[in-house]
Amino acid sequence: MTARSFCTSVSSPDGLSRVLREIRGAVTSPAGGLVFVTGPLVAQLRALAPRVAAAWKGVPTVIVPGAGVLSERSELEGVAAVSGILWSGGQATPFALGDAEEPPRALGASIGRALGARPGSALVFHTTEGFDVSLLDGIADAAPSARVFGGGTVGASGMVVTAEGEERTGRAVGMAIKGLAAPIVAASSACRLVSELHPIEEVSAGLVLRLGGRAALDELSRCAPSANTPGAPSPLVFAALAEPDDVGEDGRPRFVIRPVRGIDPARRAVMIGEGARPGMRMGFAVRDAQTARSELETMARVVMKNALGAAPRFALYLSCAGRGAGLHGAPDAEARVLRQRFGDLPIAGMHAAFEISPREGKPSRLELYAGVLALFRSPS
């Protein structure tokens, strides 16, 4: 078997060891592994690392804490649980950014060293503390050939275990992967637009003053939805930002979600932050379960279509912590979508604090309320 995934409740480090030994016995000549942990196990991360090193001896592995864990079969939230994947083929090199190292170029340099001269992909998992979008620009400058994606850890820093058994921790950890075909990576949103995307005309220190010929606050007030149930809170409204030339394969605009940080009634302005610039398009959006499901179905279909002619080996799926059962009203909603499209293909992932998705020829971008799917294939 070239890859094996798992997702299960585990109450102790001993329980994790048993799961990992079973997975190790099912994969021939493993090249790399990922272990995602959630619930009370996050506080035991340092105790788990030696168990991973012993059970997967000689296999470079990244251990990542999340708000939940998932596989192609299930999603587990609010309990002590683990998910993960072990695969053969290619070459995996883990890295960790120590507290003394200064981002953003240090992380890009780590990825560049791990990949060497060959192009490849890099998984990055960063704490919410100290993360800034300039980090992604720095990675692109230092490792321009890397296809970078990943997410935000929840509750603790991640850890890596090297092939030699060395354990490292850092606010940014990850793994460079080369020797496999470039993964197909796509992102889907859980937010529904409640306004059109209008050109931003005037910005001042993160305040959007005008868009689409009117004051930004007037546009927000005009489109903000009210609660359908009397007494229920109105849906939280987010800003949706789009580059002028950023469209998906279906021709629809690709946008990223950013929080509305405040308003300035005197200037009729909306505070978005440094991500909003003149020339971009901006609208407003709300979280929506139906949109999340339909967008995930569309993304999975497009990824599978683009994989025709190459043998899929495994996939990774990073879903926002603001999705899951809290959004869909039931567990396993997104795992079922993936299984319907990809069948028994091994998939592992977590519910992340934020998501990182790649762009062709540009720095990767920060995503919120997104699902990022990466399909790895055999080399052609």
pLDDT at position 104 is: 57
pLDDT at position 338 is: 98
Q: How confident is the model at residue 97 (pLDDT cuts 50, 70, 90)?
A: confident
pLDDT at position 229 is: 52
Distance CA 87, CA 356 (A): 22
Distance CA 180, CA 33 (A): 15
Q: How confident is the model at residue 108 (pLDDT cuts 50, 70, 90)?
A: confident
pLDDT at position 361 is: 85
Q: What is the DSSP string of 307-353?
A: TTTS-EEEEEEEEETTSHHHHHSSTTHHHHHHHHHHTT--EEEEEES
Closest CA to 256 of 99, 362, 122, 109: 362
Token readout for 187 is: 């992102």
Residue 110 clears pLDDT 90, i.e. is over it: no
Pairing of strands 81-88, 3-9: antiparallel
Residues 369, 237 contacting (CB under 8 angstroms): no
Mean pLDDT, the chain, integer: 92
pLDDT at position 100 is: 59
Distance CA 61, CA 104 (A): 23
Distance CA 138, CA 101 (A): 13
**What number is the average pLDDT over the span 115-126?**
86
pLDDT at position 118 is: 73
Closest CA to 47 of 201, 177, 156: 156
* Per-residue pLDDT tens over the stretch 238-273: 999 998 877 766 667 789 999 999 999 999 999 999
CA distances from 118 to 113, 115, 143, 178, 367 (A): 10, 6, 11, 8, 27
pLDDT at position 228 is: 55
pLDDT at position 31 is: 97
pLDDT at position 126 is: 95
Residue 55 clears pLDDT 70, i.e. is over it: yes
Residue 276 clears pLDDT 90, i.e. is over it: yes
* Per-residue pLDDT tens over the stretch 279-291: 999 999 999 999 9
With a threshold of 0.85, does the pTM exceed it? yes
**What number is the average pLDDT over the span 186-201?**
96
pLDDT at position 268 is: 97
pLDDT at position 231 is: 54
Query: How much of the chain, in percent, has pLDDT values that exceed 70?
Result: 94
